[in-house]
């Protein structure tokens, strides 16, 4: 059984939120930095000086597109007493690890599920995800409930020191992501994935979140599931140069780490992927399709605990991944948008219980219905 992740409530302007994040999670921020500086050296063959030089270039990009997020990053560095370039670097981990296409980049991360009202028992929206990543990252994860000045209240799961990953906001928007690789990954300096996700979560309107994703200069490929509590979900397969939308079928959407879009397949943008990606998203759909019209949060949790293909299952057991070290499901998340809550299990969900994490201000509110 894994210990639940710590939950931190922070509020204020961007700098204040960053300082609180850095201060409260200082030990875990240090673990995040230690882990990634080692990975950048081993995987990307980058020296510390090279990492920090590239981080400075990304910092200029972030500052130019969102001064508030850059102020929050400054605050995290201040609160955690870490060097600014190192905080920027961990917020650019995908771009630094994979953006320059150094050697094989086989996507090892994540299975996502989106279920729309026509497919759920109580006509709500459910979004689920297993986050698969390097095993040591398990010790760096935190849950943040953020009440930020002049922007939406939100709750999200991140590696400490990062400003964005998977989460949802008070306007009913949820963002989840998966890793993708493509032939367009050529070391382009763009808006890093955590910053893109956070900017999407700072949106008040669904179209605003889509515009942020599609119009921002991107430095690396990625997959984004964007959903709204009013009953819409779209998957966006992106490269630095292109965006390929994928829509639910019969109210159900599943995705792993390969391009599903026919246009992307025809254009041949896919660079590499692992075989388990091809059955993880199929397996999730296979388990849920017989229940369409009656799918519940518990049904989604059961799929995220599925062990078919172990150790490379939807629920990924710790195992060595060639050239990448130990990999596992480090967190499992199920968003119940009707009730403004995400359920989070630390580590493998078949060895952990889900804990509820509410939006700021919603923790004492009675759940309106089971979904």
What's the pLDDT at 219? Answer: 84
60-64, 108-112, 209-213, 302-306, range with the lowest pLDDT = 108-112
Instruction: Write phi, then psi, for 79 (nearest 5 degrees).
Output: -65, -35
Reported pTM = 0.93
What's the pLDDT at 370? Answer: 35
Mean pLDDT of 286-303: 98
In whole angstroms, what is the distance from residue 66 CA to residue 108 CA?
A: 30
What's the pLDDT at 363? Answer: 56
For 122, counting Cβ atoms within 10 Å of its Cβ (0-12 exposed, 13-18 middle, 19+ buried), the class is middle
- The set of residues, in sequence order, having a beta carbon less than 8 Å from that of 368 and lying 6+ positions away, is 338, 339
| 8 Å CB contact between 207 and 261 | no
Mean pLDDT of 138-154: 97
What's the pLDDT at 323? Answer: 65
| 23/42: higher pLDDT | 23
Q: Which of 87-101, 259-273, 277-291, 355-369: highest mean pLDDT?
A: 277-291
Q: Which of 263, 227, 202 is CA-nearest to residue 113?
A: 227
- 102-358 to CATH, choices 3.60.130.10, 3.40.309.10, 3.60.60.10, 3.40.30.10: 3.60.60.10
Q: Which of 223, 158, 219, 212 is CA-nearest to residue 191?
A: 219
Q: Per the structure block, which two tokens stand in for 360?
A: 């700021």
Mean pLDDT of 338-359: 97
272: pLDDT strictly greater than 60: yes
DSSP helix, strand, coil percent of the chain (3-state; round to 5): 40, 25, 35
* pLDDT over 70, % of the chain: 93
Mean pLDDT of 120-145: 97
Q: Residue 371 — very low, low, confident or very high, per pLDDT cuts 50/70/90?
A: very low
In whole angstroms, what is the distance from residue 358 CA to residue 298 CA?
A: 18
252: pLDDT strictly greater than 80: yes
What's the pLDDT at 103? Answer: 40
Element (H, E) at 48: helix 48-65
Question: Which single residue is written with the structure tokens 């990304």?
Answer: 58
30-64: burial string, b at 16+ Cβ within 10 Å, e else = bbbbebbbebbeebbebeeeebbebbeebbebbee
Q: Residue 368 — very low, low, confident or very high, per pLDDT cuts 50/70/90?
A: very low
* pLDDT over 90, % of the chain: 82
| 8 Å CB contact between 238 and 223 | yes
For residue range 70-79, what is the model confidence (pLDDT) as tens digits? 999 999 999 9
Per-domain residue ranges of the chain = 102-358
- Identify any residues that bridge with 156 across adjacent strands, giving them in sequence order: 144, 167
What's the pLDDT at 117? Answer: 98
For residue range 14-26, what is the model confidence (pLDDT) as tens digits? 999 999 999 999 9
């Amino acid at each position: 059984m894994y210990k639940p992740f710590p939950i931190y409530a922070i509020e204020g302007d961007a700098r204040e939120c960053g300082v609180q994040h850095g201060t409260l999670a200082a030990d875990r921020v240090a673990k995040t930095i230690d882990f990634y500086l080692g990975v950048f050296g081993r995987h990307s063959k980058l020296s510390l000086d090279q990492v920090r030089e590239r981080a400075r270039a990304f910092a200029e990009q972030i500052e130019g597109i969102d001064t508030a997020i850059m102020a929050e990053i400054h605050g995290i560095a201040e609160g955690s007493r870490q060097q600014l370039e190192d905080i920027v670097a961990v917020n650019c981990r995908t771009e630094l690890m994979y953006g320059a296409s150094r050697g094989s980049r086989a996507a090892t991360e994540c299975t996502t599920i989106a279920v729309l009202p026509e497919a759920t028992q109580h006509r709500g929206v459910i979004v689920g995800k297993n986050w698969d990543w390097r095993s040591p990252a398990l010790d760096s994860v935190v849950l943040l409930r953020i009440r930020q000045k002049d922007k939406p209240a939100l709750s999200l799961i991140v590696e400490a020191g990062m400003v964005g990953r998977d989460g949802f906001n008070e306007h009913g928007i949820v963002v989840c992501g998966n890793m993708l690789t493509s032939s367009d990954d050529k070391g382009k300096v763009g808006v890093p994935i955590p910053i893109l996700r956070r900017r999407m979560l700072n949106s008040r309107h669904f179209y605003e979140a889509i515009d942020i994703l599609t119009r921002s200069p991107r430095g690396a490929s990625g997959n984004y599931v964007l959903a709204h509590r009013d009953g819409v979900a779209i998957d966006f397969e992106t490269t630095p140069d292109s965006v390929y939308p994928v829509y639910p079928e019969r109210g159900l959407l599943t995705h792993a780490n390969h391009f599903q879009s026919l246009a992307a397949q025809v254009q041949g943008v896919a660079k590499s992927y692992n075989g388990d990606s091809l059955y993880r998203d199929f397996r999730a759909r296979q388990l849920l399709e017989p229940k369409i019209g009656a799918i519940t949060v518990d049904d989604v949790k059961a799929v995220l605990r599925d062990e078919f293909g172990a150790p490379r299952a939807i629920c990924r057991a710790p195992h060595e991944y060639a050239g990448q070290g130990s990999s596992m499901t480090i967190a499992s998340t199920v968003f119940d948008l009707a009730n403004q809550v995400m359920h989070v299990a630390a580590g493998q969900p078949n060895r952990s219980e889900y804990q509820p994490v509410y939006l700021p201000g919603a923790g004492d509110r009675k759940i309106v219905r089971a979904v």
